[in-house]
Structure 1
Amino acid sequence: MRRRILSSFVLPLTLFVGAAQGQEDETTINSYAAGYVAGYTCSAIFNANKSEDAIREHELSGIYPLVADKVAAMKADIDRENKLVRVAYDDGQRERISVWRARLGCVDLPVGATLADADKVSRPFAEAALAKDNGEPWQIRQPVNEVTGNLDLDDVIIKGFSKHYGSGARTTAILIATSDKIIAEHYLDGFSPETSQRTWSVAKSIAASVVGAAVLHRDVKVNAPATIANWQSSLDPRRHITLEHLLHMASGLDSNAAGNRTDRVYMGGGRVVDTAVTTALEVQPGSRWKYANNDTMLAMRAVRESFGNSEDFLKFPYEALLDKIGMQHTFLETDWNDDFIMSSQVWTTARDLARLGVLHLQNGIWQGERLLPENWLAYISKPAPAQPNEGAPGYGAQWWLYNERFPELPNDTIAARGNRGQYLVIIPSKDLVVVRRGYDMAGQQGFSEHDFVRDVLAALEK
């Protein structure tokens, strides 16, 4: 029953593909496909140092069916000197361009942009070689890809790299840690602690952490109206949407049949302010839970509008959070208007995700310094007033809740969950973080994080 319910998260994608194909002409879909190839190739090469063959095998296969066939037929033109990727489409008449920037990863230029426009993107960070991951803050680290000595746990990890937890599962990394010890750390051949991978919607929970840092450092208030400039007319009911509504996926805004399909921004080179900001209300804010990428992007936009300039905003997540906890192999990608697309487009490593988990285990304190508000873990773990349907995990503030709905896991289990099998699971009562990364196949049964974490807990308790 649980598997049938969880699989329902995939159904809107299938339903929306038909609708999208009816609404968008061939050139638009070709542009999406070219943008997909350009963006993923750019990020995988310059963020993760992956080979073109590996990119084809992982990033560009088993993907969103709307563009899968077209993506397979397209070729990327990679300019390693200038760190950009070009992909032609419509028989070479048009092209899409993705440009890499230090710390910020790749930005997809809009349709119609030319190579001359690549130099116009903002570059607030100086380029510097990424250092090898030093393994901090963990005092004890199980060697990478070695057995733990716990036969039951080793068996669970072996199953985690097989099809045991899902017929469409393709696992790339598993990391199990406490606040001071890496219990187990395993990678697929070709991956390492420095190999970043797109988080998909795990980024939403990273975004919530950035919001938390803004609450602590910039007097941002979650229960105050989100200060979106476009909504400030006295007749605009959207001015009553609070930052908390956005964090709870309860904005009430129209986000199409499936709120997780934001192709114009994700593949089309669109801006957040031209898509998420312009949608109208469907229902009263706070009255409905609806999973919507736009709500996360709007939460980050609301934080941005508390800054005087975009450069300070772009640096803030790194200076206030990521750099403090050693997330040095994490790239927060933006649109070309410098709005973070933190509903999905973050590239990071298993260790960096585990570091974020440890920060939450420590209730927002890192090496004696408070980085998140004192009650932030309790806040993100509190069920929102409007909830997903019964049987699915509950929802807090951009984090999924495995509370009484899933009795096989401790009641305080929370998780960041992303497409293609990205998971960061935090269990404060067990002082435990579990990370799983993958490239699960679209349309097939994905990796069951619930069953895997259940089995990890059972093995650790023996």
Structure 2
Amino acid sequence: MKNVIAALVLATSVSTVGFAQETDATIRAYAAGYKAAFTCSATFNGGKSPEQIEAQELTGIYPLVADVVPTLEAKIDHDAKRVTVAFSDTLPPRISQWRPHLGCTQLPVGAKAETTAALPRIDIDVPARNDSAPWSRIPSNYGEADNEALAALVARAFKDPKYGKDAFTTALLVASPDEILIESYIDGYTHRTSQRTWSVAKSIAASVIGAAVEEGQIDIKAPAPVASWQSPLDPRKGITLENLLHMASGLDSNQAGNRTDRLYIGGGRVDDTAMRTSLEVNPGSRWKYANNDTLLAVRALKDAIGDEQAYLEFPFEALLHKIGMLDTVPEVDWGGNFVMSSQVWTTSRDLARLGILYLNDGTWNGERILPEGWAKYVATSAPSQPPAARANGSAIPGYGAQFWLYNERFPELPNDSFAALGNRGQILMIIPSKNLVIVRRGHDPAGGEGFQIHSFAADVLKALE
């Protein structure tokens, strides 16, 4: 699976294939889980048609299951809000079940539909919707802007190979805390169209943890309170939450840390996957991009809170709903663990709202949501860093705390630029010195040249001069 993040990881000569030896039966189960999960989320979170799902969500699949997914049929039950995909003559279909707020969850391989009643659920009050908040001004029509150069740039960026010869852009948005300067979408999309964030979810996870720090729920400098690590014989108990946020846990995350197939498409739980790995190096001594580090950081929050229902409600009550991210759905595994390394669905405006929160140093309408200085913290270089460049000489962003840093490695941008990046070109870029956020959503194909956000952002700044 090649994506914005994986392309960076490739610079360290990490392979995305060959580290697992799945049987044909497991590959079929994974393929069915992929199709069930993506169809369910795109249907019930994203409101997408079967044709859109087939053309957008079920393309760009990494090789392990790419050939099998098209051979399987997804059955959508709109009444039960459930998707099933048959894959075996002896086992039940793979099942993905939607619930309000928590989205779609895959059942484990072999589970039957009647067990969906036992899935985690929450019932929370949702604030009144205000699609225009926090902005005092939004253009009347998509693609329009007072700045003609900006409008022309955004229109061109949907198809200009300068910004990625293989890029498939679905949305672009540029905003300050006061106004949306421009937003534009492909046909069939609006500001309410939700897409999977992929690894942009990691930055949302860091924001949830920041809210927990502000409330005194957790301490990033202390050992991560993962209950299963607390034996005096377990050296993992010394891994701090900060190590996890910095992608520096030192844990074994296979050859490709961005591949967590058993959890993402195999119906596993965070407890079955991320919590079972052992140390490879001392915590803090190595940067390695790993989904498990994010998963463990959020899992540590669950143990710190100590109450599953309170944990499930926390992201909404402490962060998302407070800043109007009402179209954001963080999904969970069947054990009630948020999969905030990837499986969050949200809109362009909701991502822009998160960016504005960081521009405002964690405050919203006078209320402090994130700790003072949290924006600077996540955008400060971690002690261990990814390589500076790929084999072809192109720059790799630096790394902070679950955000990527477009610092001195990208002289065309202000040194304080930082971003949330995800597979297939999901991007939230934050430029504090320009008081600006840029959101790009897409379905860039695997293996191609995806959207070049540094080039686009530099051109946005020129248009605004």
2:76 touches 2:82 (CA, 8 Å); kept in 1?
Answer: yes
Task: After TM superposition, give the deviation of residue 61 of structure 1 in Å.
Answer: 1.1
What is the Cα deviation at residue 149 of structure 1? 4.0
Matched, 1:322 2:320: yes
Kindly provide the amino acid, as one letter, of the partner of residue 372 in structure 1: L
The CA distance in 2 between the partners of 1:184 and 1:313, in whole Å, is: 36
- CA-to-aligned-CA distance 1:109-147 (integer Å, 9 cap, x gap): 10111011111112112698x987621110011134233
Residues 13/39 of structure 1: CA separation in 2 closer, same or farther (3 Å cut): farther
Give the 5 Å matches for 1:29-428. 29-91=27-89, 93-125=91-123, 134-164=131-161, 165-391=163-389, 392-428=396-432
The worse-fitting range, judged by mean Cα deviation, of 324-333 and 89-98 is: 89-98
Contact 2:378 2:403 in 1 (8 A): yes
Q: Indicate how the Cα distance of structure 1 residues 26 and 378 shifts in structure 2: closer, same or farther if over 3 A, else same.
A: same
2:438 maps to 1:440: no
* Identical pairs, percent: 56
Assess if the C-alpha contact under 8 Å between 1:420 and 1:442 holds in 2: yes
SS of residue in 2 equivalent to 1:305: helix
State the shift of 1:203 in Å.
Answer: 0.2
Report which stretch shifted further, 244-253 or 376-385: 376-385
SS in structure 1 opposite 2:67?
Answer: helix
Cα-Cα RMSD: 2.0
Q: Measure, in 1, the Cα distance between the counterparts of 2:316 and 2:40.
A: 21
Partner residue in 2 for 1:16: 16
- Which TM-score applies when normalising by structure 1? 0.95
Superposed structure 1 runs of 4+ greater than 4 Å apart: 3-6, 10-14, 130-133
Q: How big is each residue's C-alpha offset from its partner over 1:173-229, in whole Å with a ceiling of 9 and x where there is no partner?
A: 101000010000001111111111000000000000000000011341100000111
Matched residue, 1:454: 458
- Pairwise CA distance, 1:171: 0.6
Counterpart residue type for residue 431 of structure 1? N
Closer, same or farther in 2 for the Cα pair 1:287/1:293, shift >3 Å?
Answer: same
Equivalent residue pairs, number: 456
CA contact (8 A) 1:132 1:194 kept: no
**Equivalent residue number for residue 392 of structure 2:** none
Alignment partners' CA distance in 2, 1:424 and 1:209: 13
CA distance in structure 1 between the aligned counterparts of 2:444 and 2:437, rounded to whole angstroms: 21
Unaligned runs of 5+ in 1: none
> Are 1:13 and 1:258, in contact at CA under 8 Å, matched by a contact in 2?
no
Distance 1:426 1:263, change over 3 A: same
Extract unaligned runs of 5+ from structure 2.
390-395
> Contact 1:171 / 1:436 at 8 angstroms: preserved in 2?
yes
Q: Distance in 2 between matches of 1:271 and 1:7?
A: 26
Query: Which piece of structure 1 moves more, 214-223 or 341-350?
Result: 214-223
Q: Per-residue displacement from partner, 1:375-428 (whole Å, max 9, x unpaired)?
A: 101111111000000131110110001111111100110100000000000001
Amino acid of the residue matched to residue 457 of structure 2?
V
Q: Give 2:183's aligned amino acid.
A: E
Per-residue CA deviations over 1:230-286 (Å, capped at 9, x if unaligned) read 111112110100000000000000000110000011100101011101100000000
Which residue of 401, 418, 429 maps to 2:433?
429
Q: Which moved more, 1:64-73 or 1:142-151?
A: 142-151
Q: Cα 1:71–1:92, aligned 2, differ >3 Å: closer, same or farther?
A: farther
Contact 1:84 1:98 in 2 (8 A): yes
Determine helix, strand or coil for the equivalent of 1:141: coil
Cα gap change, 1:389 to 1:211, in 2 (>3 Å): same
| TM-score after normalising by structure 2 | 0.94
3-state SS of the aligned residue for 1:246?
A: helix
Do the aligned partners of 1:13 and 1:261 also contact (CA within 8 Å) in 2?
no
Q: CA deviation at 1:65?
A: 1.9
